[in-house]
Amino acid sequence: MKALILGGTFNPVHAGHLFLAEDARSSFGYDAVIFVPAFHPVHKEAAPILAPSHRLEMLRRAVRGHARFIVDECEIARGGPSYSIETVHELAPRHRIEGRPGFVIGDDLLAGFHTWKDAESLAREVDLIVARRTAAAPAPFPYPHRTLDNLLFPISSSEIRRRAAAGLTIRFLLPDEVADYIEANALYG
């Protein structure tokens, strides 16, 4: 299987994540997207992060019924800091990934990529795909990569959390199954 890896906090997963995954998959000819929710993201600014079990369940609900979308909980099962190089080493044999997997990284993370654990090895072992997160020009990036000319969605997990906490609607910003789960479990509010 030719697979694309999309990691993240998914706190919560929303329409922007899902569209980006499908856009990258179809644009670059991947068979499937493997979503990997982080246990403890080491490159995110400190912010309250929902328990991994909730984020995992929301992601499972979001992709249910989409045969080309797979959720893998390897980083949650491993615990501790989530390092992409370890994830790639674990996913490749488990999912019988053919060749180098695709690996999506947002352009907002390019400037710090060299600080990632074994960044040089990661860049050699995957096909880096840079997705736009903002309208600003991305930082120079010396590693081999392809750029996805993706749509910029005016949706963010932080905005969804803010709206939920304020009692505002979050419907249609994320799948109904995820909105229902957030409401049923009184998350973010």
pLDDT band at 115; cut points 50, 70, 90: very high
Task: Write out the two tokens for 21.
Answer: 């995954």
Q: How much is the pLDDT for 43?
A: 66
CA proximity to 109, closest of 26, 177, 31, 44: 44
pLDDT band at 83; cut points 50, 70, 90: very high
First to last CA, the chain: 40
Show the CA angle centred on residue 30, arms to residues 29 and 35, nearest 5°: 145
Assigned architecture for domain 3-153: 3-Layer(aba) Sandwich (3.40)
Q: The whole model's pTM is what?
A: 0.95
| Residue linked to tokens 């991305």 | 138
Q: How much is the pLDDT for 128?
A: 98
Q: How much is the pLDDT for 45?
A: 59
Task: Write out the two tokens for 168.
Answer: 């505002």
Q: How much is the pLDDT for 42?
A: 78
Q: Which residues pair with 61 in a beta bridge?
A: none
Instruction: Note the pLDDT tens digit of each residue in 118-176.
Output: 999 999 999 999 999 887 777 789 999 999 999 998 899 999 999 999 999 999 999 99
Residue ranges per domain, the chain?
Answer: 3-153
CA proximity to 75, closest of 105, 111, 41: 41
Separation CA 115–CA 169 (nearest Å) = 38
Q: How much is the pLDDT for 44?
A: 61
Instruction: Note the pLDDT tens digit of each residue in 12-52.
Output: 999 999 999 999 999 999 999 999 999 988 766 556 789 99
In DSSP notation, the chain reads --EEEEEE--TT--HHHHHHHHHHHHHHT-SEEEEEE-SEETTSPS-----HHHHHHHHHHHHTT-TTEEE--HHHHH-SEE-HHHHHHHHHHHTT--SSPEEEEEGGGSTTGGGSTTHHHHHHHSEEEEE--SSSPPPP--S-EEEE-PPPPS--HHHHHHHHHTT---BTTB-HHHHHHHHHTT---
Q: How much is the pLDDT for 46?
A: 56
pLDDT over threshold 70, residue 111? yes
Q: Do residues 105 and 131 lie in contact, with contact meaning Cβ atoms separated by under 8 Å?
A: yes
